[in-house]
Amino acid sequence: MIKRFTFNHFGTNCYVVSDPESKQCAIVDPAAEASYEDAQVTQYIEEQHLTPSYILLTHAHVDHVAGLRQACVRYGLPVTMHPDGTKLLRQCEAYGSVMGFDVREMSDLEVRAIQDDDVLPLGKGRIECRFVPGHCPGSMCYVLPDEHVVLTGDALFRGSIGRTDLPGGDYNLLMEKLKSRVMTLDGDYDVLPGHGECSTIREEQLGNPFIV
């Protein structure tokens, strides 16, 4: 089961992925900026009787980690991410002051490092980790094979791709990784991006001007 929330003044999508039998769940990109946004996630988790097992980041841009500290402290979990993104995580306080986010320094948070092709068990299901840098260092996509879903963060959007003009961005690398690590999925996979509406792999294969 996947529940989407859209938070903060950047309209960032946060997802709670859960296994209905074990009630284990993963919080992907805890982006809640305000207390009332944070309460939506905690209320959903309580109502569904879920137990968070992971707090996953697709990447460490400040709009995707606005509620990270609260989530890690509340559930006593490390942040699970690719190690190439830890520098961005340490810079969140500085970037936040420029972009209108009130976030604290996060270098003290425990980090659980994951790599390309790692598999995270979630009850009877699994989350496959795919390293898709190019939008920024450490960018990951998460494939849920049982649900035929891929969480793409800011690497792939409906009809577009993530911007590559920010520090650490690389257009050619992003395109290479998207084509080899994401677009090779079956066409019926749903694409759940970090911003905007969902799509499918087939829709992007046929209509995304960057992919076509």
List beta partners, residue 127: 120
Q: pLDDT for 99-135, tens place per residue?
A: 778 888 788 899 999 999 999 999 999 999 999 999 9
Give the closest residue to 161 by CA, choosing from 172, 173, 174.
Answer: 174
Helix axes 35-47, 68-75, angle to 10 degrees: 40
* Pair 192, 151: CB distance under 8 Å: yes
> Domain 2-207 adopts which CATH fold?
Metallo-beta-lactamase; Chain A (3.60.15)
So what's the pLDDT on residue 92?
79
Measure the CA angle with vertex 130, ends 128 and 131; round to 5°: 150
pLDDT above 90 as % of the chain = 90
Give the closest residue to 60 by CA, choosing from 95, 27, 35, 8.
Answer: 95
Show me where the domains of the chain are located. 2-207
So what's the pLDDT on residue 208?
97
